[in-house]
Structures are given as C-alpha cells and as structure tokens.
Amino acid sequence: MAKSRQPNGASSIYLGKDGKWHGYVTVGVKDDGKPDRRHVKRKTRADATKAVRELERQRDSGNVLKTGQTWTLAAWLTHWVENIAALHVSENTIDGYRVAVYHHLIPGLGAHRLEKLEPEHLERFYKRMQENGSSPGTAHQVHRTVRAALNEAVRRRHLTLNPVSIAKAPRLEEEEVEPYTVEEVQRLLDEANRQRHSARWVIALALGLRQGEVLGLKWTDIDFDLGVLVVRRGRLRPRYQHGCGDRCGRKPGYCPQKINTRRETKDTKSRAGRRAIGVPGPLLALLLRHRSEQEQERQAAADLWVEKGYVFTSPTGEPLSPNTDHHQWKALLKTAGLRTGRLHDARHTAATVLLILGVPDTVVDAIMGWEPGKSARMRRRYQHLTNRVLTDTADKIGGLLWPLPEVPPVA
C-alpha cells in the first residue's frame, strides 16, 4: 500500500510490505541538524495510530526521549559521576558520590536499562542494602546520589521521568546527639594538655569548629589583639595515586612513593561557613603557647620544615591529615578513659553548652556556622539534651569547663 503524501514534518501511518502498520513522527531536530523522525511498528492500524499519537503527545509536552545511545544505569552513572558531577561539586562531595556509585549502585542495579528502571527496583535495593549490613544513613546517601544522577538524565532527555522521585526513600532515624558531660570534657582536656596540639581539642570543644575547619586554620586567621578567629577554609582529605608506577602492589594511599593529587584546602563558600568567632582569653593563651612550641619544632626540623602557615601541623610543617587527626582523637578518648565517640561529638558538645548558657540563637548559629535554612532544625536536635545537664550550673560550665595549666610567659 503506497504511503499517502503528507506535508513535510507531518506524522504518517502506512501498511508496509511486511504486513505491519508503520508510523513516523517528527519530534525535533538531531544534533546534525536533520529532522529527528521516530518510527513505530504495530500489527493493526489502530495500534499504530495509538503509538503515533503517544509520540506526538510526548513531543508536544517536551517529554520525548533523546535519540542516540541507549544507556544502562551503570553506563549513565559512570558518565555522570566522572564527566558531569566531578566538574561541578566539591572534592568531598564527589568522593561520596563515587562510593555510592561504584560500591553500591553499579553492583546492585547497574544492569538495568535506564528507561526500564522502576521505583520498586530501587526500594527493594535499599532493603537489600540494609539487610546486608549497610546503615540507614548509607542507604539514604545512595538514594540521594542516584536521584541527583537521574535528575540530570531527565534534564538531558535520556529519561522522561525520574523513578527515584517516586520511590520511597530509606527511613532515616535522626541521629542521636551524644555530647560529652562537663566532667568528661574536663578529663579529656586534662589529658590533652599532656599531649602535642592540646589547643586543637580545646577549639573543637569550646568553639565547635568542624574537623576540616580546625585543620585548615592558619596563623593569619587569628587576631590575638582583637581576640577573634576567622574561619576561611577547610582541610580536604588527601587523594593519592601511585608514584611508583603501580609496582608496589599496594593501594595508592600505602604506596611508599604516593603522590597527593588533591589541593590541601578549599575556601569556605557559604556565608554562614565563613565566619568570625570570638576566642575566650584562656584559649588565646593556649594558642600563644602552641605557637611557641611550634617555633621550637621548626628550629628542630631545620631544613626539613615546610612553612605553610598552618596552626596545626606535622613535625615538619605540613598540614595534618584528617585521617591522622581522627586516630589521635580516638587515642585521646581511650587514654582519658572515656567512651568512644565521633570527632563530631566534640562539635555537638560545644553547641549544647552554648544553648545551656542561654546564648542567643543568632549567636549560636554564627558560632556553629549553621546556614539560616537549617539553623532552627539543628537547634531543635539539641533542645532535649539540655535537661540532662541543667544540674550543672552556668558558673560550673563557665569556670571549670576548660581548666588550663599555668602558661609560662611568652618570650
């Protein structure tokens, strides 16, 4: 049956020599400028007409799939994380994305065709993750990662609808905040005063700085005359590659000739994160003592010292590794005879003490670096804890929380 002549660009339906009904719909223009004309084939004219009308509806609503490569989830996630996300997010964020993609999503769901992925596939996958030992937090991070990846696929018309937006996210119980008590902080800092970098832990417990913010501090960020510390940057976790040509047989981080391929710090980008904080007098005195001790280390290291201006350094002046800092925190807790806890619990402790002391909300937000949209929710996480320690009077907290030894006069 001959095709009836249609105006250029109009849809057409005809009976082919194979006995099937064929339909063609122009849905747009290809990358090379030629018309993007899609083909459907059905057994009956009615079915072909229905398929043509559906293509026209998708075209008119802007939801027709882009022509070209048919993606598997594995192929799209790999392309997205390496060629799209890696160019636009921070180093720490891309590390989290890569763990979610390569350790969880591709092994668990990667074989699915992108357009065939269903919400139920995702929900069953999240359930399997947790049955196999992953925490709800990990499952939720994976959910957020695949949602971001498929949102980009929708934006680029490789998908018409993101199934992750329909799937139920893994249930995430809000993490219980466990601040240390006044007595525990006293024991912790009493032990810290016997070790190198005692000021590092006082800053965490008194001012609530994040790990990266403390390790990224430079002496130029501290104004001793005004008694102010300015948070300007955060320390990044190193990312290593082999310096031996991959001959040592170890992971890159353990290569004797490893090379760090990542910058040391990144500037704080949010207005809330970049902040000035008043420093208590005893902490300023402790920082002065720390600077004097660092000068002695610089003289001992001689030509091995690398001057980069950091407040907390290795014995040769390099910025501290976050991993080393984490292990030192764990060792400090053990030596002090305290329960194990995350380094972030020191930040929780600082926030709780500020709330107990009745510091105004806006001041707490500024000290902690909480963004306006999150500040009220963050404060609520701490409110139920204050009753637990209200028996400790403000005088006890203010006068005894950070007892310091006699500071020798600075030459």
- Which of 385 and 11 is assigned the larger pLDDT? 11
pLDDT for the residue numbered 237? 84
Confidence of residue 410 (pLDDT cuts 50, 70, 90): low
SS (H, E, C) the chain: CCCCCCCCCCCEEEECCCCCEEEEEEEEECCCCCEEEEEEEECCHHHHHHHHHHHHHHHHHCCCCCCCCCCEHHHHHHHHHHHHHHHCCCHHHHHHHHHHHHHHHHHHHCCCEHHHCCHHHHHHHHHHHHHCCCCHHHHHHHHHHHHHHHHHHHHCCCCCCCHHHCCCCCCCCCCCCCCCCHHHHHHHHHHHCCCCCHHHHHHHHHHCCCHHHHHCCEHHHEECCCCEEEECEEECCCCEECCCCCCCCCCHHHCCCCEECCCCEEECCCCCCCEEEECCHHHHHHHHHHHHHHHHHHHHHHHHCCCCCECCECCCCCECCHHHHHHHHHHHHHHCCCCCCCCHHHHHHHHHHHHHCCCCHHHHHHHHCCCHHHHHHHHHHHHCCHHHHCCCCHHHHHHHCCCCCCCCCCC
Residue 7 is predicted with a pLDDT of 60
36-45, 112-121, 182-191: least confident range: 182-191
Rounded to an integer, what distance in angstroms lies between the CA atom of residue 217 and that of residue 290? 13
- 30, 34, 36, 44, 218 from 155: Cα distances, Å: 17, 22, 18, 34, 42
Cα–Cα dist 233/217, whole Å = 7
Give the pLDDT confidence score for residue 68 in this predicted structure. Answer: 55
**What residues have CB less than 8 Å from 72, skipping those under 6 apart?**
110, 111, 112, 113, 114
Q: Is the pLDDT of residue 6 over 90?
A: no
Q: Does residue 118 surpass a pLDDT of 80? A: yes
- Tally Cβ neighbours within 10 Å of residue 355: 16
pLDDT category at 43 given cuts 50, 70, 90 is very high
Residue 348 or residue 341, greater confidence: 341
pLDDT band at 405 (very low <50, low <70, confident <90, very high): low
Residues of the chain above pLDDT 90, percent: 35
Share of the chain above pLDDT 70, in %: 79
Give pLDDT, residue 367. Answer: 67
Q: How many CA atoms lie within 13 A of 377 on its CB side?
A: 6
How high is the pLDDT of residue 388? 44
More confident residue, 239 or 271: 239
Residue 1 has pLDDT above 70, yes or no: no
User: At residue 342, does pLDDT exceed 70?
Assistant: yes
Min mean pLDDT across 191-205, 282-296, 376-390 is at: 376-390
Task: Give the pair of three-digit tokens for residue 75.
Answer: 């192929």
Predicted pLDDT at 270: 65
Most confident of 79-83, 167-171, 259-263: 79-83
Q: What is the pLDDT of residue 31?
A: 64
* Mean pLDDT, rounded, for 145-174: 90
Can you tell me the mean pLDDT for 202-216? 85
pLDDT at 386: 45
User: Any idea which of 79-83, 164-168, 342-346 has the lowest mean pLDDT?
Assistant: 342-346
203 or 272: which leads in pLDDT: 203
pLDDT of residue 391: 42
What local confidence, expressed as pLDDT, does residue 20 receive?
Answer: 92
pLDDT attached to residue 143: 96
Give, to the nearest 10 degrees, the angle between helix 198-207 and helix 281-301. 150
Residue 392 pLDDT grade (very low, low, confident, very high; cuts 50, 70, 90)? very low
Confidence of residue 222 (pLDDT cuts 50, 70, 90): very high
Compare 333 and 272 and report the one with higher pLDDT.
333
Q: What is the pLDDT of residue 406?
A: 55
Average pLDDT for the chain: 82
Is it the case that residue 228 has pLDDT exceeding 60?
Answer: yes
Average pLDDT over residues 284-291: 91
Residue-level pLDDT at 375: 60
For CA atoms 133, 135, 136, 137, give the dihedral sign.
Answer: negative
59-92 pLDDT tens trace = 777 666 666 557 899 999 999 999 999 998 888 8
Given a cut of 80, is residue 272 above it in pLDDT? no
Q: How confident is the model at residue 387 (pLDDT cuts 50, 70, 90)?
A: very low
Q: Tell me the whole-structure pTM to 2 decimals.
A: 0.63
